[in-house]
């Protein structure tokens, strides 16, 4: 299946809809908030799987992803817009 034809999870579709509905004055703040929420979720999922997953190769991959997600979160925190 082509990734671009896969439907979004409802939660992610709602995030996108909130961004589309944001005013120009609020867009930066909304984008930053959505990015932080998405990265926090990704970090939690990867840490949890790295600790408790049942597939050794995927556990290793999840553990290796944690520092990259943390770096992305620090960059998201630096984005313009107050939260």
Instruction: Give the span between the Cα atoms of 65 and 43, in whole angstroms.
Output: 8
pLDDT of residue 80: 80
Q: Let me know if residue 50 belongs to a domain.
A: yes
pTM of the model: 0.80
Q: What is the DSSP letter of 23?
A: -
Q: Let me know if residue 83 belongs to a domain.
A: no
Q: Let me know if residue 63 belongs to a domain.
A: yes
Whole-angstrom CA distances from 27 to 8, 11, 16, 42, 45 are 21, 19, 12, 22, 27
Q: Let me know if residue 16 belongs to a domain.
A: no
pLDDT digits (tens, 9 = 90+) for 3-62: 567 888 999 899 999 999 999 999 999 999 999 999 999 999 999 999 999 999 999 999
Number of folded domains in the chain? 1
Q: Domain residues for 47?
A: 26-77
Q: Let me know if residue 14 belongs to a domain.
A: no
Q: Let me know if residue 12 belongs to a domain.
A: no
């Amino acid at each position: 299946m082509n990734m671009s034809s896969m439907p979004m999870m409802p939660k992610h579709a709602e995030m996108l809809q909130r961004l589309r509905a944001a005013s120009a004055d609020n867009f930066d703040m909304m984008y930053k908030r959505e990015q932080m929420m998405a990265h926090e979720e990704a970090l939690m999922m990867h840490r949890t799987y790295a600790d408790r997953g049942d597939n050794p190769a995927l556990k290793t991959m999840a553990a290796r992803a944690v520092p990259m997600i943390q770096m992305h979160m620090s960059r998201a925190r630096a984005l313009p817009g107050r939260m």
